[in-house]
């Protein structure tokens, strides 16, 4: 036996004085797997954990086992565990546990902040005092990952609906199904450290195609192939950048053909040609697919014959597609497939392959929660592959997304997989998916909620998050008839501010119902609202070199795009529960405006079902707004750094509130002193122009380093080492910039280029670069 086995076995068997068995297994010096079982020893098979235990040198003294990073103490009377760091500081204590119901309760420190769990839409970051039943839904998704300001994390490896509670009795997790308590304790020392441990356990984050970081346009829904193609044409005509167009549902025809995965509707007679035409316009094509099938589809018939459909009530409830509310006398017969079955996943891909053969670039996997209406006890007890619907419910999005990713990787055609999905479970970051936050209502409150929801999602190890810019349901702003919201100043202000937030999300995507969202819907070129949107889209393309380099750090070094401020400034307690600011990568402090400044804030309460009832709006008139006025906003600059206003270059000391003069067409943002930020050219689509003269912005005040990452932009050759890094190092004391020799290479890379160096005071210098190191004094 190796050392790890010997050391672990001392704790594998039930302790004599314990009423139950306890298994404590060190995966690494800082990750411990705990299993408690009431009967015979059990080693559960995880759907999430793909790592294997490493060889870890351990020492044992009585019921205490230690690695170089952690000490685990087992109380032999209560079977409760205490986790301590290498210096003996208590990190987390178990308080009690039961098996019926399946519950584990922990004791937290007074004032200890905890984070994560998933996209909870209540506007909070800190989960202290939270009581939440965690079951996947349209608007909220859960990953069972918690982390503490003290630097520890916990993954609860259970897929049933689970109740999370934190109150005077402790922090507890209570699952509705399961035979054993099964969790992983991770000590990372920081938010980044916990994320790194979670990704070690459940998988890293593959690179997305470079083009996915451009601008996406969508709506619910383009109703003909000609309309879909015309949107791309109009963006090109107006010279507004665009990289992705999305075809939402019903291109397949009636609800009885729901999700047939083919262009069967009369107005989509030649879907293959549509995709080809989009590609010829230098855009990419994403299409809506679902986890359910109508009774007239080939998929339904094949899955049904094999017993691989679930009896749960799902969307759409009626076969009549154009009437709301649903006419239940004509049930759709649509059923969700058993995504837990390898055979069902293979059938799913067999039919989806037709759209892949047509040239589809990316998948919009909708309702991967999946929608589950009027649940009955018999539904929860229905058997699925490997368990019951109750016992596996929350892992559904993981299994269905993983099925597509693995199948497409086997049929690799030089395209990186990009899946946008409505739901997520732990580990899903490993399978090429970006989650959006569901059918959120168009309101300022909901915009405010998206920031902590996205940050909380990121803290579970999943870095890829986005929202429907402007909110999905905007019907309450249609004050001058159907679809008039983009002419209503109340919606215009909300949309532009939501877009300014979206600028800092990994995917920058406009989508929604009730009114179209294309830029020309908001006015003519040159008008204030139109121009504000245009400037934002242009600026997004300038940020792509910074964003894509951050993406490489996400993949290779466990970084995150969207970072709660305590990730970098944990010593500043003022940021522990901050919900309106965050770091975008390591250098940029995003401070979006999330309150109305030019119009009256409209209070809207809608859920994902009532929003579909297109309410007529009466008794309201759209107010006017002077978009040229300047306003003020107060923002906090974290302690521990000094900050440059991105737009003015003014330097502020951290640890203070600052009152900013704000503009409608500009999002407040700062750059940390001691940063290097590369900016690219404005282009109509990714790849239109080479990055042969990037602007390299240098922010003095501290030493800085930035690694400019480049690769082929698509395909998986980067996994074989085909990429390059150019490392920029700023030495503040000597005001010297060192540019390294280019490291690595790939087919088609630039051999000679220029860099234009820019300081906040306006100092500018352009240099030639041919791959050899350069040193410049500024």
SS3 of 151-164: the string is: CEEEEECCCCCEEE
Taking residues 387-401, report their average pLDDT. Answer: 98
Task: Kindly give the residue spans of alpha helices, DSSP state H, lying in 74-209.
Answer: 191-202
DSSP code, position 356: H
Identify the residue whose tokens are 């215009």.
492
Q: Which of 199, 185, 193 is nearest to 92 (CA)?
A: 185
Give Cβ neighbours of residue 344 (< 8 Å, ≥ 6 apart): 303, 306, 308, 337, 338, 385
The answer to whether the CB of 564 falls within 8 A of the CB of 455 is yes
The answer to whether the CB of 261 falls within 8 A of the CB of 291 is no
Peptide bond connecting 370 to the previous residue in cis, omega within 30 degrees of 0: yes
Q: State the pTM of this model.
A: 0.96
Statement: residue 14 has pLDDT above 80: no
Q: Which of 349, 334, 332 is nearest to 406 (CA)?
A: 349
| Cα three-residue angle 567-49-117, rounded to 5 degrees | 40
Question: What's the rounded Cα separation, in Å, for the pair 283 and 241?
Answer: 10
Taking residues 490-496, report their average pLDDT. Answer: 98
Looking at residue 611, what is its pLDDT?
Answer: 75
pLDDT tens, 672-689?
999 999 999 999 999 999
The answer to whether the CB of 363 falls within 8 A of the CB of 418 is yes
Question: What's the rounded Cα separation, in Å, for the pair 132 and 166?
Answer: 9
Identify the residue whose tokens are 């209406």.
373
Cα torsion 488, 494, 498, 501 to 10°: value is 140
Statement: residue 618 has pLDDT above 60: no
Using a pLDDT cut of 90, give the percent of the chain over it.
Answer: 93
- Among 17-26, 363-372, 763-772, whose mean pLDDT is lowest? 17-26
Beta strands in 29-130 (DSSP E): 31-37, 59-61, 64-66, 70-74, 81-85, 90-99, 102-107, 114-118
114-118 and 90-99: which strand pairing?
unpaired
Statement: residue 9 has pLDDT above 80: no
Q: Which of 652, 654, 644, 774 is nearest to 698 (CA)?
A: 644
Assigned token pair, 498: 């939501």
Statement: residue 166 has pLDDT above 50: yes
Give Cβ neighbours of residue 719 (< 8 Å, ≥ 6 apart): none
Domains defined along the chain, listed by start: 3-202 (2.60.40.1760), 222-417 (3.20.20.80), 523-593+625-778 (2.60.40.1180)
Beta strands in 176-324 (DSSP E): 181-187, 215-217, 244-247, 284-289, 292-293
Using a pLDDT cut of 70, give the percent of the chain over it.
Answer: 96
| Cα three-residue angle 103-106-107, rounded to 5 degrees | 150
* Banded model confidence at residue 604, pLDDT cuts 50, 70, 90: confident
Q: Which of 333, 406, 294, 421 is nearest to 369 (CA)?
A: 421
Looking at residue 42, what is its pLDDT?
Answer: 81
Looking at residue 40, what is its pLDDT?
Answer: 85
Question: What's the rounded Cα separation, in Å, for the pair 579 and 592?
Answer: 11
Give Cβ neighbours of residue 113 (< 8 Å, ≥ 6 apart): 125, 126, 128, 148, 149, 566, 576, 577
Assigned token pair, 774: 């350069």
Taking residues 506-532, report their average pLDDT. Answer: 98
Give Cβ neighbours of residue 388 (< 8 Å, ≥ 6 apart): 177, 380, 381, 382
Looking at residue 39, what is its pLDDT?
Answer: 86
The answer to whether the CB of 724 falls within 8 A of the CB of 746 is yes
The answer to whether the CB of 119 falls within 8 A of the CB of 157 is no
Looking at residue 216, what is its pLDDT?
Answer: 98
* Banded model confidence at residue 13, pLDDT cuts 50, 70, 90: very low
CA distances in angstroms from 723 to 294, 451, 505, 681, listed in the order given: 44, 33, 24, 21
Looking at residue 698, what is its pLDDT?
Answer: 98
Q: How many C-beta neighbours within 10 Å does residue 122 have?
A: 10
pLDDT tens, 698-724?
999 999 999 999 999 999 999 999 999
Looking at residue 622, what is its pLDDT?
Answer: 58
Statement: residue 168 has pLDDT above 60: yes
Question: What's the rounded Cα separation, in Å, for the pair 198 and 134?
Answer: 19
The answer to whether the CB of 366 falls within 8 A of the CB of 290 is yes
Q: Which of 404, 387, 406 is nearest to 395 (CA)?
A: 387
> Which 3 state secondary structure label does DSSP give 276?
helix
DSSP code, position 294: -
Peptide bond connecting 339 to the previous residue in cis, omega within 30 degrees of 0: no
pLDDT tens, 421-453?
999 999 999 999 999 999 999 999 999 999 999
Q: Which of 85, 101, 46, 97 is nearest to 185 (CA)?
A: 85
* Banded model confidence at residue 20, pLDDT cuts 50, 70, 90: confident
Assigned token pair, 298: 């080939």
Statement: residue 7 has pLDDT above 80: no
Question: What's the rounded Cα separation, in Å, for the pair 322 and 221?
Answer: 13
Statement: residue 18 has pLDDT above 70: no
Looking at residue 473, what is its pLDDT?
Answer: 96
State the burial class of residue 376 (Cβ atoms within 10 Å of its Cβ: 0-12, 13-18, 19+).
Answer: exposed
Q: How many C-beta neighbours within 10 Å does residue 146 have?
A: 25
Question: What's the rounded Cα separation, in Å, for the pair 84 and 73?
Answer: 8
Looking at residue 615, what is its pLDDT?
Answer: 63
Taking residues 257-271, report their average pLDDT. Answer: 97
CA distances in angstroms from 391 to 135, 202, 342, 396, listed in the order given: 11, 20, 18, 11
The separation between CA 71 and the C-alpha centre of its own chain, rounded to angstroms, equals: 33
Looking at residue 8, what is its pLDDT?
Answer: 41
Taking residues 94-103, report their average pLDDT. Answer: 97
* Banded model confidence at residue 121, pLDDT cuts 50, 70, 90: very high
Looking at residue 19, what is its pLDDT?
Answer: 62
> Which 3 state secondary structure label does DSSP give 406?
helix
Question: What's the rounded Cα separation, in Å, for the pair 153 and 53?
Answer: 18
Mean pLDDT of the chain: 95
> Which 3 state secondary structure label does DSSP give 610?
helix
pLDDT tens, 21-54?
999 999 999 999 999 999 888 888 999 999 999 9
Question: What's the rounded Cα separation, in Å, for the pair 181 and 167?
Answer: 21
Statement: residue 179 has pLDDT above 60: yes
Assigned token pair, 502: 């979206």
pLDDT tens, 746-761?
999 999 999 999 999 9
- Among 269-278, 486-495, 521-530, 618-627, whose mean pLDDT is lowest? 618-627
* Banded model confidence at residue 16, pLDDT cuts 50, 70, 90: very low
Cα torsion 663, 665, 668, 671 to 10°: value is -130
Question: What's the rounded Cα separation, in Å, for the pair 539 and 304?
Answer: 49
Task: Report the residue count for the chain.
Answer: 778
The answer to whether the CB of 693 falls within 8 A of the CB of 766 is yes
Statement: residue 77 has pLDDT above 70: yes
The separation between CA 63 and the C-alpha centre of its own chain, rounded to angstroms, equals: 41
In sequence order, what are the beta bridge partners of 247?
287
Question: What's the rounded Cα separation, in Å, for the pair 695 and 758?
Answer: 7
Statement: residue 632 has pLDDT above 60: yes
Give Cβ neighbours of residue 577 (< 8 Å, ≥ 6 apart): 113, 124, 125, 126
Taking residues 307-336, report their average pLDDT. Answer: 94
CA distances in angstroms from 243 to 39, 509, 606, 650, listed in the order given: 56, 10, 31, 34
Q: How many C-beta neighbours within 10 Å does residue 777 have?
A: 9
């Amino acid at each position: 036996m190796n050392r790890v086995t010997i050391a672990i076995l001392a704790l594998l068997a039930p302790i004599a004085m314990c009423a139950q068995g306890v298994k404590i297994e060190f995966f690494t010096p800082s990750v411990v797997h705990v299993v408690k079982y009431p009967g015979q020893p059990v080693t559960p098979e995880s759907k999430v954990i793909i790592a294997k235990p490493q060889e870890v040198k351990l020492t044992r003294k009585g019921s205490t086992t230690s690695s170089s990073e952690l000490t685990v103490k087992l109380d032999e009377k209560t079977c409760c565990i205490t986790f301590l760091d290498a210096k003996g500081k208590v990190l987390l204590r178990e308080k009690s546990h039961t098996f019926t119901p399946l519950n584990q309760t922990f004791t937290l420190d007074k004032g200890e902040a905890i984070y994560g769990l998933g996209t909870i839409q209540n506007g909070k970051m800190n989960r202290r005092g939270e009581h939440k039943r965690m079951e996947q839904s349209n608007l909220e998704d859960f990953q069972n990952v918690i982390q503490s300001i003290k630097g520890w994390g916990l993954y609860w490896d259970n897929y049933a609906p689970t109740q999370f509670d934190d109150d005077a009795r402790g922090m507890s997790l209570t699952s509705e199904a399961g035979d054993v308590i099964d969790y992983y304790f991770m000590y990372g020392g920081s938010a980044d450290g916990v994320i790194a441990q979670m990704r070690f356990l459940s998988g890293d984050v593959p690179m997305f195609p470079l083009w996915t970081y451009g601008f996406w346009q969508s709506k619910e829904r383009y109703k003909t192939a000609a309309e879909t193609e015309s949107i791309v044409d109009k963006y090109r005509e107006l010279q507004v950048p665009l990289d992705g167009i999305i075809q939402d549902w019903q291109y397949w025809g009636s609800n009885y053909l729901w999700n047939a995965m083919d262009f069967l509707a009369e107005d989509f007679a030649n879907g293959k040609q549509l995709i080809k035409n989009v590609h010829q316009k230098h855009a990419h094509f994403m299409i809506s697919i679902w986890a359910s099938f109508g009774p007239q589809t080939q998929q339904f018939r094949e899955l049904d014959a094999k017993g691989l459909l679930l009896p749960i009530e799902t969307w759409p409830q009626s076969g009549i597609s154009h009437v709301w509310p649903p006419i239940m006398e004509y049930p759709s017969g649509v059923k969700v497939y058993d995504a837990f079955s390898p055979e069902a996943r293979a059938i799913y891909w067999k039919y989806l392959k037709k759209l892949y053969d047509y040239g589809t670039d990316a998948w919009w996997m909708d309702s991967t929660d999946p929608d589950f209406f009027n649940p009955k006890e018999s539904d929860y007890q229905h058997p699925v592959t490997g368990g019951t619907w109750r016992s596996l419910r929350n892992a559904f999005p993981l299994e269905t997304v993983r099925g597509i990713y693995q199948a497409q990787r086997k049929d690799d055609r030089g395209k990186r997989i990009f899946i946008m999905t409505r739901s997520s479970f732990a580990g899903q970051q490993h399978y090429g998916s970006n989650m959006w936050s569901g059918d959120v209502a168009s309101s300022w409150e909901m915009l405010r909620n998206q920031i902590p929801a996205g940050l909380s999602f990121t803290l579970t190890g999943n870095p890829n998050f986005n929202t429907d810019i402007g909110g999905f349901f905007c019907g309450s702003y249609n004050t001058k008839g159907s679809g008039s919201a983009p002419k209503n100043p109340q919606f215009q202000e909300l949309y532009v501010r939501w877009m300014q937030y979206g600028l800092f999300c990994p995917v920058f995507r406009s989508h929604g119902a009730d009114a179209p969202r294309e830029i020309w819907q908001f006015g003519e070129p040159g008008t204030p609202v139109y121009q504000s949107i245009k400037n934002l889209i242009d600026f997004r393309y300038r940020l792509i070199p910074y964003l894509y380099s951050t993406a490489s750090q996400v993949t290779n070094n466990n970084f995150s795009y969207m970072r709660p401020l305590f990730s970098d400034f944990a010593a500043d307690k003022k940021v522990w529960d901050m919900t309106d600011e965050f770091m975008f990568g390591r250098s940029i402090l995003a401070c979006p405006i999330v309150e109305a400044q030019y119009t009256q804030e409209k209070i809207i309460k809608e859920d994902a079902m009532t929003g579909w009832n297109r309410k007529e709006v009466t008794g309201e008139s759209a107010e006017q707004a002077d978009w040229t006025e300047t306003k003020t906003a107060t923002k906090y600059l974290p302690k521990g750094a000094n900050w440059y206003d991105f737009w003015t270059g003014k330097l502020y000391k951290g640890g203070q509130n600052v009152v900013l003069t704000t503009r409608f067409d500009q999002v407040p943002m700062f750059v940390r002193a001691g940063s290097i930020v590369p900016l690219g050219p404005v282009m109509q689509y990714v790849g239109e122009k080479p990055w042969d003269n990037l602007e390299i912005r240098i922010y003095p005040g501290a030493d800085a380093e930035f690694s400019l990452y480049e690769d082929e932009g698509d395909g998986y050759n980067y996994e074989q080492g085909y990429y390059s890094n150019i490392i920029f190092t700023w030495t503040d004391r000597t005001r010297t910039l060192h540019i390294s020799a280019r490291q690595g290479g790939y087919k088609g890379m630039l051999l000679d280029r220029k860099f234009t160096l820019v300081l906040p005071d306006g100092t500018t210098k352009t240099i030639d670069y041919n791959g050899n190191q350069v040193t410049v004094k500024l």
